């Protein structure tokens, strides 16, 4: 299994993550855009996810709710700006617990010899917003999510 590569340059508004998955990009794209599959990998295993809305088209809205065992909810939402299957997704991302701190996320999928390199670039409105996301545990959360995605992709390939 490959590991998450996190790139954070001092003074920049961006966080860039990359990881290679042992699956064709069509499958990775499906896992990222199918509302029945997203809850199987997005977020932490300890906080189950409900996809409340996921309209994967330009101008479409997405809204995810994570639940913990004591009933606390963390809600995230955004708007899709570009969908180029199976190679690119561009959308906004906002944590409803901190309204107004919207970032623009671009996910690019590059296939090489049956494997897919996922390049995820998040551009924040300020360096402070970027640093706040890092301090909130974004790297650990992304690592767990992408580990779960890796497991899901392996399961999907066994079924196919």
CATH code for the domain defined by 5-45+85-92+99-159: 3.30.530.20
Q: Under 8 Å CB-to-CB from 114, ≥6 apart: which residues? A: 22, 23, 24
Q: How far apart, in whole angstroms, are the C-alpha atoms of residue 19 and residue 150?
A: 10
Token representation of residue 21: 């998955």
Q: Under 8 Å CB-to-CB from 111, ≥6 apart: which residues? A: 24, 25, 117
- In the beta sheet, which residues pair with residue 108? 88, 119
Q: How far apart, in whole angstroms, are the C-alpha atoms of residue 152 and residue 43?
A: 13
pLDDT number for residue 160: 64
Mean pLDDT, consecutive 10-residue stretches, the chain (160 aa), reads 92 98 98 98 94 98 96 96 98 94 98 97 97 93 96 92
pLDDT number for residue 159: 84
Sign of CA dihedral 111, 21, 143, 97: positive
Residue extents of the structural domains in the chain: 5-45+85-92+99-159
């Amino acid at each position: 299994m490959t590991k998450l590569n996190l790139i954070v340059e001092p003074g920049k508004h961006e966080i860039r993550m990359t990881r290679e998955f042992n699956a064709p990009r069509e499958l990775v794209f499906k896992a990222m855009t199918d509302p029945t599959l997203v809850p199987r990998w997005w977020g932490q295993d300890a906080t189950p996810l409900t996809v409340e809305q996921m309209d994967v088209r330009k101008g479409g809205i997405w809204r995810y709710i994570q639940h913990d065992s004591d009933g606390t909810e963390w809600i995230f939402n955004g708007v899709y700006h570009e969908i180029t299957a199976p190679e690119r997704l561009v959308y906004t991302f906002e944590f409803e617990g901190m309204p107004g701190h919207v970032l623009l996320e671009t996910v690019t999928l590059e296939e090489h010899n049956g494997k897919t390199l996922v390049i995820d670039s998040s551009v924040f409105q300020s360096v402070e917003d970027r640093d706040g996301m890092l301090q909130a545990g974004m790297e650990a959360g992304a690592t767990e999510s992408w580990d779960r995605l890796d497991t899901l992709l392996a399961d999907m390939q066994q079924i196919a």
